[in-house]
Amino acid sequence: MPFIPHTEDDIKAMLAAVGARDINELFDEIPAALRSGKLTQVPPRAAEMEVTRLMSERAAQDGRPLCFIGAGAYEHHIPAAVWELTTRGEFYSAYTPYQAEASQGTLQLLYEFQTMMASLTGMDVSNASLYDGASALAEAVLMAVRANRNACAKRVFMPGTVHPIYRKVVHSIVKNQNIELIEIPYCSAGGHTVPESLEKFQAGEFAALVIPQPNFFGVLEEVDALTDWAHAHGALVIAVVNPVSLALLKPPGEWGEKGADIVCGDGQPLGVPLSSGGPYFGFLCCKQEHVRQMPGRIVGRTLDVDGKPGFALTLQAREQHIRRSKATSNICTNQGLLVTAATIHMALLGPDGLERVAAHSHANTLALLASVCALPGVERVFERPLFHEAVIRVAGDAGAVLRAMQARNILAGFDLTPYYPELGNAILLCATETKTPQDIEHYTTALQQSLTQRAPARRAEYSV
Among 171, 233, 292, 380, binds another protein (CB under 8 A): 292
**Cα(104)–Cα(312) distance, integer angstroms:** 8
Stretch that binds another protein, among 14-22, 59-67, 315-323, 405-413 (CB under 8 A): 315-323
Comparing CB distances to another protein, the nearer of 55 and 317 is 317
Q: DSSP letter at 221?
A: P
What proportions of the chain, in percent to the nearest 5, are helix, strand and coil? 45, 15, 40
**Cα(350)–Cα(361) distance, integer angstroms:** 17
* Order of strands across the sheet that contains 378-380: 378-380, 389-394, 426-430, 414-415
Comparing CB distances to another protein, the nearer of 16 and 152 is 152
Minimum Å distance from CB 336 to another protein?
25
Comparing CB distances to another protein, the nearer of 45 and 149 is 149
Minimum Å distance from CB 290 to another protein?
12
Angle at 293 between CA 288 and CA 295, to 5 degrees: 105
Minimum Å distance from CB 323 to another protein?
5
Q: Contact letters (x/-) for another protein, 235-274, by CB under 8 A?
A: ----------------------------------------
- Asked if residues 170 and 188 have their Cβ atoms less than 8 Å apart, the reply is no
Helix/strand/coil for 181: strand
| Closest to 81 (Cα-Cα) out of 338, 337, 344, 351 | 344
Among 97, 188, 323, 351, binds another protein (CB under 8 A): 323
Cα–Cα distances in angstroms (integers) from residue 187 to residues 58, 219, 240, 361, in the given order: 41, 11, 19, 25
Interaction of residue 322 with another protein, rule CB under 8 A: yes
Q: Contact letters (x/-) for another protein, 108-127, by CB under 8 A?
A: --------------------
Interaction of residue 172 with another protein, rule CB under 8 A: no
**Chain Cα centroid distance, residue 177:** 22
Comparing CB distances to another protein, the nearer of 26 and 322 is 322
Comparing CB distances to another protein, the nearer of 77 and 323 is 323
Minimum Å distance from CB 328 to another protein?
10
Comparing CB distances to another protein, the nearer of 149 and 200 is 149
| Closest to 388 (Cα-Cα) out of 415, 358, 412 | 358
Comparing CB distances to another protein, the nearer of 65 and 310 is 310
Minimum Å distance from CB 300 to another protein?
13
Q: Is the peptide bond before 279 cis (omega within 30 degrees of 0)?
A: yes
Footprint (CB under 8 A) of another protein, residues 332-361: none
Q: What does residue 257 show for φ and ψ, rounded to 5 degrees?
A: -80, -35
Among 318, 360, 362, 388, binds another protein (CB under 8 A): 318
How would you classify residue 63: left for phi > 0, otherwise alpha for psi between -120 and 50, otherwise beta? left
Q: Contact letters (x/-) for another protein, 144-163, by CB under 8 A?
A: -----xx-------------
Stretch that binds another protein, among 21-29, 183-191, 320-328, 409-417 (CB under 8 A): 320-328
Comparing CB distances to another protein, the nearer of 7 and 150 is 150
- DSSP class per residue in 264-313: EEE-TTTT---GGG----EEEEE-GGGGGG--S-EEEEEE-TTS-EEEEE
**Cα(379)–Cα(105) distance, integer angstroms:** 52
Interaction of residue 46 with another protein, rule CB under 8 A: no
Among 18, 326, 459, 464, binds another protein (CB under 8 A): 326
- Asked if residues 168 and 132 have their Cβ atoms less than 8 Å apart, the reply is no
Cα–Cα distances in angstroms (integers) from residue 75 to residues 66, 78, 294, 403, in the given order: 10, 9, 30, 20
Residues near another protein (CB under 8 A), total: 8
Positive or negative: CA dihedral 341, 343, 347, 350: positive
List, in sequence order, every beta strand (DSSP E) within 142-241.
155-159, 180-184, 208-213, 236-241
Interaction of residue 305 with another protein, rule CB under 8 A: no
List, in sequence order, every beta strand (DSSP E) within 336-386.
378-380
Interaction of residue 317 with another protein, rule CB under 8 A: yes
Stretch that binds another protein, among 83-91, 98-106, 179-187, 321-329 (CB under 8 A): 321-329
Name the H helices within 198-327. Answer: 223-232, 320-323
Minimum Å distance from CB 179 to another protein?
19
Minimum Å distance from CB 313 to another protein?
13
Comparing CB distances to another protein, the nearer of 206 and 280 is 206
Name the H helices within 37-185. Answer: 48-62, 80-86, 104-121, 133-147, 164-174
Which residues would be at the binding site for another protein (CB under 8 A)? Answer: 149-150, 292, 317-318, 322-323, 326
